[in-house]
Amino acid sequence: MRVALMVTCFNDAMFPETGKAVVTLLRRLGVEVDFPAAQTCCAQPMVNTGYLDEAVPVVRTFVEAFAGYDAIVTPSGSCAGSARHQHGIVARRAGDPALTEAVAATSPKVYELSEFLVDVLGVTDVGAYFPHTVTYHPTCHSLRMIGVGDRPRRLLEAVRGLTLVELPGAAECCGFGGTFAVKNADTSVAMGADKARHVRETGAEVLVAGDNSCLMHVGGMLSRQQAGIRTVHLAEILAATEASVPEVVA
């Protein structure tokens, strides 16, 4: 099976540790993962802001970079959702049958990390060790756009040393929403403040999610409040073992 890592532009530029964690984790599970260097972005920032024409060359780059792989794995529910549900819209708008065909071949092969682990590899215990109290925020696109269900929770519950505590109002949006966070900054902050309050109420040391974008928003707020709570991507917890707990949390 030829497996590609879709690291996402956001993780690439801002959270490279998450991509490294996916590589470590998949190798440990016996999967050799490629990083197609031609990849850039899923085009979601353009699509969700209404710039569909601008999204066309980005989607074209995406399908060219990932052509021919059996599975494309990404540590982002949001970008997986974008690739699966929005690339077709962009291609149709471009009126380019070849692009539409390429999208139809690529999109269904995109898996969010927890889907790939549970559905394709058939594992829930990935041999991780993470001795901390953790609360899980199921990001909206993971939850509703691609429907990861309880896969991340099952993976977390199998992590040795980890205590998972319930997040009140977990299914409610954190207020990030891409450009919404800036275009409607006041509303975004009001939503984020409530999410941050719920996180503090759990008493957890760590907030985990499958999307660094939401974590950056809530984490940025927790940091401003000096709450002392760390945000860690799901991949980094799953990659952690007794030999290598991530530096940021150790």
Partner 1 sequence: MSATFVGMPAFPSAARAALADTQLRHNLAHATGTIRDKRARVVAEVEEWEDLRLAGAAVKQSALVDLDRHLVRLEETLTANGATVHWARDAAEANAIVARIARDHDADEVVKVKSMATQEIGLNEALAEEGILAWETDLAELIVQLGDDLPSHILVPAIHRNRAEIREIFLREMAGVGRPAPADLTDEPAVLAGAAREHLREKFLRAKVAVSGANFAVAETGTLVVVESEGNGRMCLTLPEVLVSVVGIEKVVPTWEGLDPLLRLLPRSSTGERMNPYTSTWSGVTPGDGPQEVHVVLLDNGRTRALADDVGRQALRCIRCSACLNVCPVYERVGGHAYGSVYPGPIGAILNPLMKGTGDPQTDSLPYASSLCGACFEVCPVRIDIPEVLVHLRAEVVDGHRGDRVPKAEAAAMAGAAWTLSDARRLAWVEKASGLAGRALTRFGRTRLPGGRAAAGRIPGPGAAAWTGARDLPAPPRESFRAWWRRTDGGRTDHTDTETGEGS
Residues 94-133 within binding reach of partner 1 (CB under 8 A): none
Is 45 near partner 1 (CB under 8 A)? yes
Task: Give the integer Cα–Cα distance in Å for 76 and 54.
Answer: 22
- 46 vs 179: CA distance, rounded Å: 9
Draw the binding track, 207-246, toward partner 1 (x: CB under 8 A; -: no contact): -----x--xxx-xxxxxx---xxxxxx--x---------x
DSSP string, 156-217: HHTSBT-EEEPPTTTTS--S-TTTHHHHTHHHHHHHHHHHHHHHHHHT-SEEEES-HHHHHH
Amino acid identity for residue 137 in this structure = H
Q: How far is the CB of 149 from partner 1 (least distance, A)?
A: 14
Convert residues 49-78 into a mask of x (bound to partner 1 by CB under 8 A) and - (unbound): xxxx-xx-xx-xx---x-------------
Q: How far is the CB of 41 from partner 1 (least distance, A)?
A: 4
CB of 2 to partner 1, least distance (A): 15
To partner 1, the closest distance from the beta carbon of 91 in angstroms equals 14
Q: Which is nearer to partner 1, 117 or 245 (CB)?
A: 245
- CA separation for the pair 160, 127 (Å, rounded): 8
Binding part of the chain for partner 1, among 100-108, 115-123, 135-143, 150-158 by CB under 8 A, reads 135-143
Residue corresponding to tokens 């993962």: 33
Which CB, 163 or 179, lies closer to partner 1?
179
Binding-site size for partner 1 (CB under 8 A) equals 88
Site residues for partner 1, window 145-184 (CB under 8 A)?
A: 145, 171-173, 175-184
Q: To the nearest whole angstrom, how small is the minimum distance from the Cβ of residue 123 to partner 1?
A: 21
Single out the segment in contact with partner 1 by CB under 8 A; choices: 48-56, 66-74, 127-135, 151-159.
48-56
Rank residues 163 and 184 by Cβ distance to partner 1 and give the closer one.
184
Structure tokens at 104: 């139809």
Restricted to residues 7-26, the positions that interact with partner 1 (CB under 8 A) are 7, 9, 11-20, 23-24
- Residue from 218, 238, 213, 179 nearest 29 by CA: 238
Short-list 249, 250, 241, 232, CA closest to 137: 232
DSSP code string of 2-34: -EEE---HHHHHH-HHHHHHHHHHHHHTT--EE
| SS3 per residue for 208-234 | EECCHHHHHHHHHHHHHCCCCCEEEEH
Min dist. Cβ of residue 106 to partner 1 (A): 16
Interface residue with partner 1, options 37, 95, 122, 243 (CB under 8 A) = 37
Least distance between partner 1 and beta carbon 84 (Å) = 13
